[in-house]
């Protein structure tokens, strides 16, 4: 797990660590810094029992605001974290995967919805490009690259957004089941998703 350490994440980390048979390590990393990200990946993988076989990249930021007066520096930060952060992490991971010549699976997090949407649209296109480049390369083991667009999920990151006026009601009304979701599961990075490549899964049902 690579993230900025926050109180809620620390609690989640400790809870998972307490489960029987669970091995979880936490690494603090700014995904906008390429060299730091590469070093973090190398250190993390060096302490694993098995080679790196998968990447689930969901680092992302975003703020509520109108495009007409949205701060340029904040828009750049969103694109830097959401889009370039995805690219940097994918590069760091594939360099390690190539060393062991084993197939792998990447899952990126996009969005079904101004600056935030632009950054996540870039993630979708990056998914397509990497799926094409790494799905059948003679120099790199097969890597499946897909993305998930979950919409608004109840997480600590979205708590402030949902608390802003009537936004929760608006988001809820836009789901098919009229309720917000809690995302669970990860079949795209597991064996039962081994035939899935270059696929964006749109999740707006309120699971």
Contacts of 160 (CB under 8 A, 6+ apart): none
User: Using one digit for the tens of pLDDT, what is the confidence trace for 85-97?
Assistant: 999 999 999 999 9
Query: In this predicted structure, which of 59-73, 80-94, 113-127, 161-175 has the lowest mean pLDDT?
Result: 161-175
116 belongs to the catalytic site? yes
Q: What is the pLDDT, as a whole number, of residue 202?
A: 56
Q: What is the pLDDT, as a whole number, of residue 92?
A: 97
User: Using one digit for the tens of pLDDT, what is the confidence trace for 156-177?
Assistant: 767 777 776 667 777 777 666 6
Question: Treating both helix axes as pointing N-terminal to C-terminal, what angle do 115-135 and 85-100 enclose, rounded to 10 degrees?
Answer: 20
- As a whole number, the mean pLDDT across the chain is 79
User: Using one digit for the tens of pLDDT, what is the confidence trace for 10-54?
Assistant: 677 777 777 766 677 778 899 999 999 999 999 999 988 889 999
The secondary structure of the chain as a DSSP string is -BS---HHHHHHHHHHHTSTT-----B---TT-HHHHHHHHHHHHHTSSS---EEEE---------GGG--HHHHHHHHIIIIIHHHHHHHHHHHHHHHHT--EEEEEE-----HHHHHHHHHHHHHHHHHHHHHS-SSS--EEEEEEE--SB-STTTHHHHTSTTHHHHHHHTSTTSS-B-----GGGSGGGTT--S-EEE--S--
Question: Treating both helix axes as pointing N-terminal to C-terminal, what angle do 34-46 and 85-100 enclose, rounded to 10 degrees?
Answer: 40
Q: What is the pLDDT, as a whole number, of residue 106?
A: 93
Backbone φ and ψ for 205, nearest 5 degrees, come out as -90, -15
Question: Domain 54-202 adopts which CATH fold?
Answer: Rossmann fold (3.40.50)
The model carries a pTM of 0.67
The average pLDDT across 88-110 equals: 93
For 185: left if phi > 0, alpha if psi spans -120 to 50, otherwise beta; the answer is left
The average pLDDT across 99-117 equals: 81
207: confidence class by pLDDT, cuts 50, 70, 90: very low
Catalytic residue, chosen from 4, 13, 99, 116, is 116
Where is pLDDT greater, at 117 or 205?
117
Catalytic residue, chosen from 50, 120, 194, 199, is 120
């Amino acid at each position: 797990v690579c993230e900025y350490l926050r109180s809620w994440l620390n609690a989640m980390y400790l809870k998972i660590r307490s489960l029987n048979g669970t091995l979880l390590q936490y690494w603090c990393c700014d995904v906008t810094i390429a060299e730091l990200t590469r070093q973090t990946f190398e250190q993390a993988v060096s302490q694993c029992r098995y080679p790196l076989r998968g990447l689930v990249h969901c680092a992302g930021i975003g703020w509520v605001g109108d495009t007409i007066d949205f701060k340029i520096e904040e828009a750049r930060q969103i694109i830097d974290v959401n889009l370039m952060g995805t690219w940097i992490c994918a590069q760091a991971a594939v360099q390690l995967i190539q060393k062991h010549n084993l197939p792998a699976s990447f899952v990126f997090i996009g969005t079904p919805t101004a600056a935030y949407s632009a950054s996540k649209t870039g993630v979708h296109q990056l998914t397509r490009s990497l799926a094409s480049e790494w799905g059948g390369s003679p120099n790199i083991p097969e890597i499946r690259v897909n993305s998930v667009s979950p919409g608004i999920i109840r997480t600590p990151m979205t708590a402030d957004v949902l608390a802003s006026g009537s936004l929760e009601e608006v988001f809820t009304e836009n789901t098919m089941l009229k309720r917000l979701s809690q995302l669970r599961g990860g079949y795209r990075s597991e064996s039962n998703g081994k035939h899935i490549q270059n696929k964006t899964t749109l999740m707006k049902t309120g699971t």
